[in-house]
Amino acid sequence: MVLDLTGTKKNFDRAILYLRELGLSVEPLSKSVTRNTDRCMHCGSCLAFCSTGALYIDNNTMEVVFDPEKCNGCELCVKGCPVRAMTINLL
């Protein structure tokens, strides 16, 4: 599960502590997803895995578009891409 937490440092730390007390493993997101445009065949397979709308079809060109600003780094599109055009970059 990927959560986007925002707020003051104090509240953020309290939220992390609360999640850990519930027995959840909490890891900061220190990676990003990128798309290799040379490999992408615009098949749309990745769209079924993207819950944030970072991957979508441009209705004019009928090509897959990737908006990294909307990506939460869940990596599901990486596993769903048959040509492995989606990759993980560790920061």
Strands (E), the chain: 31-35, 55-57, 64-66, 86-90
d(CA 64, CA 56): 6
Residue at 56 is within a domain: yes
What's the domain count of the chain?
A: 1
Domain assignment of residue 17, yes or no: no
Range of the domain at 69: 29-90
> 57: which strand partners?
64
Task: Look at residue 37 and tell me whether its pLDDT is greater than 90.
Answer: yes
Contact 55/77 with Cβ under 8 angstroms?
A: yes
Segment 3-18 shows an average pLDDT of: 85
Lowest mean pLDDT among 17-21, 55-59, 71-75, 82-86: 71-75
Give yes or no for residue 91 having a pLDDT over 80: no
Whole-angstrom distance, CA of residue 11 vs CA of residue 28: 16
Share of the chain above pLDDT 70, in %: 95
Structure token digits, residue 19: 């999640």
**């992390």: which residue's tokens?**
16
Say if 73 falls within a structural domain: yes
Nearest to 86 by CA among 40, 54, 51: 40
Mean pLDDT confidence for 13-23: 92
CA separation for the pair 37, 79 (Å, rounded): 17
**Does a structural domain hold residue 83?**
yes
CATH number at residue 34: 3.30.70.20
- 80 falls within a domain: yes
